[in-house]
């Protein structure tokens, strides 16, 4: 019930529509259940005397009653089913918003396939609670409320005899329905597993092909698929048993009514028309009793899905705006790490980092893999959360900035480049909110007027700075070229340069390049760095790299080892120090010489 109380908030905006739909159900059922009464009257009247007037009037009246019932049946379905779609829309919006607000750790702990299963299969099951379940529930309730008094009036004896098989119907629904509910929850959990496996295989298709594991993965998926089919088949056993048992006990009611009712009609205790009407009412009640079984099924599926849906909405983002945080003055770009120590799950990754970066400076971080470089720069836009007061921007702790304002001021190019299945132009303009671009002659038009950004650079300018313009000119579609899911049609270097262009187009106050030139050759690297020097003026730039050639012109170079800054200075100062940086420089210089002699 707790899950349903949380679900009730989605009904509030549509309360009037739902009540109107329920009203239409009542009117439709009233007309529909008036038909057996009219049939009974017609039988009795025609038994006494058959005239053309009666033969014409009764069918016309019954047809008119059915037509009115049909009109309100259409209205009730239109109102309630439409409302269920609107509520599904609202829930999907909340579901997506809840996921977008989550931190990176959340997606490390929850598989994407499982989340996708909840967004599709579970939301569809919840929608059934709003539409069909409400529809059939009220139809059954109104049918019982209208039919029972009429049936009691016709013959209280026959009506009471119907109570004999009814307890068996209830026990069947309770026992088999409970088993079905348990099985449904297990199936939904397994559906998440199989969806997650399919998503991982499709995402990692390059690796699967590179290692020739297609057959192996097909076999493993077949095992999961067989288990999923087996669990569904076990569920079908309960469903297959439930309906025949319901029909048997309801049919038993018919047997009792015929066995007792026919002699009553012969003895004149009830008329032939009353007996006919009673049978028709019973027939209609049977359908609605069966519908109640379907309602139980919908309720069980829906509540199981609702529990999984609410778990997403109830998950508090680990990184969010502090309470009472308001808009701050525009970010200028000064950054300070103040006695920063950061740990993953209790394991220190960064220790005692003290560093002040003035506005407009270019700072580089270099060090061995696992030294903490990427973690350090990820703390500035709060992709990871540092201890309170250990990172400051323009003299203010980063937690005093609203997340949206802080991140708008930062252009971040991560190690793992992600591109959307869209055009190159829209991928580059992704950082410009609402900035879907129109295209003319293969070139990008201006940004949407609804964008809060007034970009300094056009898409073409950003592509030129990132050294991507020549590549785009060779693509058949130019800036309209679709890059495929995750940029699969582009090379690693082209994806990195697209990501750089995306960051540059935002014209950020702080530009972070996290090993973002690792996949380009040295000639292209030099070209990009030359272009970036022209646009770095006035903005703070942080560069993470393994290549000395990428960072040698930085204002300050910091060498990290095991989470600590062990050396800092300019390129020349660090070479003179003859330490870790000088050793790295010498190794890379020798590698370049060896490559050139081959």
The secondary structure of 421-489, three-state, reads CCEHHHHHHHHCCCCCCCEECCEECCCCCCCCCCCCCCHHHHHHHCCCHHHHHHCCCHHHCECCHHHCC
Of 383, 384, 396, 387, give the one whose Cα is nearest residue 332.
Answer: 396
List the one residue out of 9, 18, 137, 25 whose CA is nearest residue 83: 18
Q: Is the dihedral of CA 382, 387, 388, 393 positive or negative?
A: negative
* Residue range 188-195: mean pLDDT, rounded: 75
Per-chain mean pLDDT for the chain: 82
Highest mean pLDDT range out of 64-73, 458-467, 506-515, 534-543? 64-73
Domains in the chain: boundaries: 2-314, 335-556+571-597
String of DSSP letters for 63-132: HHHHHHHHHHHHHHHHHHHHHHHHHHHHHHHHHHHHHHTS-HHHHHHS-HHHHHHIIIIIHHHHHHIIII
Q: Which residues contact 71 (CB under 8 A, 6 or more apart)?
A: 28
With vertex at residue 466, the alpha carbon angle to CA 460 and CA 468, rounded to the nearest 5 degrees, is 65
Which of helix, strand or coil describes residue 288?
Answer: helix
Give the model's pLDDT for residue 282.
82
pLDDT of residue 596: 59
| pLDDT value, residue 442 | 40
pLDDT digits (tens, 9 = 90+) for 298-307: 787 788 788 8
pLDDT score of 560: 92
- Average pLDDT (240-269) is 80
Domain covering 335-556+571-597, topology: Rossmann fold (3.40.50)
Q: What is the pLDDT, as a whole number, of residue 353?
A: 92
**pLDDT of 53 higher than 70:** yes
Choose from 15-19, 47-51, 192-196, 311-315 the range with maximum mean pLDDT. Answer: 15-19
What is the reported pLDDT for 390?
92
Contact criterion met (CB below 8 Å) for 413 and 516: yes
Contact 31, 72 (CB under 8 A): yes
For the stretch 80-101, pLDDT in tens is: 989 988 988 898 888 888 888 8
CA-atom Rg of the chain in angstroms: 35
- Residue 28 confidence (pLDDT) above 80: yes
- Convert the pLDDT of each residue in 271-300 to its tens digit: 888 888 888 888 887 777 777 777 877 787
Residue 448 has pLDDT above 50, yes or no: no
Residue 521 has pLDDT above 90, yes or no: no
Average pLDDT over residues 155-165: 82
CA distance 166 to 215: 54
The whole-angstrom separation of Cα 14 and Cα 17 is 5
Residue 438 scores a pLDDT above 70: no
How far is residue 411's CA from residue 576's CA, in Å, rounded to a whole number?
33
More confident position, 551 or 484:
551
Residue percentage of the chain with pLDDT more than 90: 15
Q: Report the CATH superfamily, name and number, of domain 2-314.
A: ABC transporter type 1, transmembrane domain (1.20.1560.10)
Q: How far is CA 575 from CA 164, 333, 420, 579, in A?
A: 97, 29, 42, 7
Between CA 564 and CA 340 the distance in angstroms is 10
pLDDT at 559: 92
Distance of CA 177 to the CA centre of its chain: 29
Residue 495: half-sphere exposure toward Cβ, Cα within 13 Å: 22
Please determine, for residue 258, whether its predicted confidence score (pLDDT) is greater than 70.
yes
């Amino acid at each position: 019930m707790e899950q349903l109380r949380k679900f009730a908030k989605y009904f509030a905006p549509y309360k009037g529509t739902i009540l109107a739909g329920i009203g239409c159900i009542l009117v439709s059922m009233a007309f529909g259940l008036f038909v057996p009464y009219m049939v009974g009257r017609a039988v009795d009247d025609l038994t006494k005397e058959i005239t053309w007037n009666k033969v014409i009037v009764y069918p016309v009246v019954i047809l008119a009653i059915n037509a009115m019932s049909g009109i309100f049946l259409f209205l009730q379905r239109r109102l309630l089913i439409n409302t269920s779609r609107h509520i599904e829309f609202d829930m999907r919006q909340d579901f997506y918003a809840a996921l977008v607000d989550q931190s990176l750790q959340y997606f490390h702990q929850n598989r994407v396939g499982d989340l996708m299963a909840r967004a599709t299969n579970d939301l569809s099951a919840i929608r059934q609670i709003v539409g069909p379940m409400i529809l059939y529930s009220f139809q059954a309730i109104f049918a019982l409320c209208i039919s029972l008094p009429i049936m009691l009036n016709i013959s209280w004896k026959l009506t009471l005899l119907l109570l004999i098989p009814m307890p068996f119907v209830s026990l069947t629904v309770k026992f088999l329905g409970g088993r079905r509910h348990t099985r449904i929850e297990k199936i939904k959990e397994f559906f998440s597993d199989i969806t997650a496996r399919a998503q991982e295989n499709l995402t990692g298709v390059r690796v699967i092909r590179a290692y020739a594991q297609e057959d192996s993965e097909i076999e493993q998926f077949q095992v999961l698929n067989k288990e999923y089919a087996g669990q569904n088949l076990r569920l079908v056993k309960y469903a297959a048993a439930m309906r025949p048992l319901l029909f048997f006990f309801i049919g038993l009611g018919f047997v009792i009514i015929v066995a007792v009712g026919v002699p009553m009609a012969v003895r004149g205790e009830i008329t032939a028309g009353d007996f006919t009407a009673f049978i028709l009412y019973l027939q209609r009640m049977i359908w609605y009793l069966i519908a109640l079984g379907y309602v139980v099924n919908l309720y069980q599926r829906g509540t199981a899905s609702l529990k999984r849906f609410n778990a997403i909405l109830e998950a508090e983002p680990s990184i969010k705006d502090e309470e009472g945080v308001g808009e701050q003055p525009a970010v200028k770009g000064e950054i300070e790490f103040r006695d920063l120590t950061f740990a993953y799950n209790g394991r220190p990754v960064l220790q005692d980092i003290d560093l002040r970066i003035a506005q407009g400076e270019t700072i580089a971080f270099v060090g061995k893999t696992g030294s903490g470089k990427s973690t350090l720069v990820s703390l500035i836009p709060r992709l990871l959360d540092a201890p309170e007061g250990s990172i400051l921007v323009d003299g203010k702790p980063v937690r005093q900035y609203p997340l949206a304002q802080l991140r708008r001021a930062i252009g971040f190019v991560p190690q793992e480049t992600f591109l959307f299945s869209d055009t190159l132009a829209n991928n580059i303009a992704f950082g410009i909110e609402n900035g879907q671009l129109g295209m003319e002659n293969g070139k990008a038009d201006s940004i949407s007027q609804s964008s809060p950004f007034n970009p300094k650079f056009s898409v073409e300018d950003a592509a030129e700075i990132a050294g991507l313009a020549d590549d785009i000119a060779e693509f058949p579609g130019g800036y309209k070229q679709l890059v495929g899911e995750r940029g699969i049609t582009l090379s690693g270097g082209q994806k990195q340069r697209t990501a750089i262009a995306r960051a540059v187009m935002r014209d950020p106050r702080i530009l972070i390049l996290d090993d973002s030139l690792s996949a380009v050759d040295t000639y292209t690297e030099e070209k990009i760095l030359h272009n970036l020097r022209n646009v770095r003026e006035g903005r703070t730039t942080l560069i993470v790299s393994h290549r000395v050639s990428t960072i040698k012109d930085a204002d300050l170079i910091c060498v990290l080892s095991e989470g600590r800054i062990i050396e800092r200075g300019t390129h020349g100062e660090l070479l003179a120090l003859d330490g870790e940086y000088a050793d790295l420089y010498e190794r890379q210089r020798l590698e370049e010489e060896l490559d050139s002699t081959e």
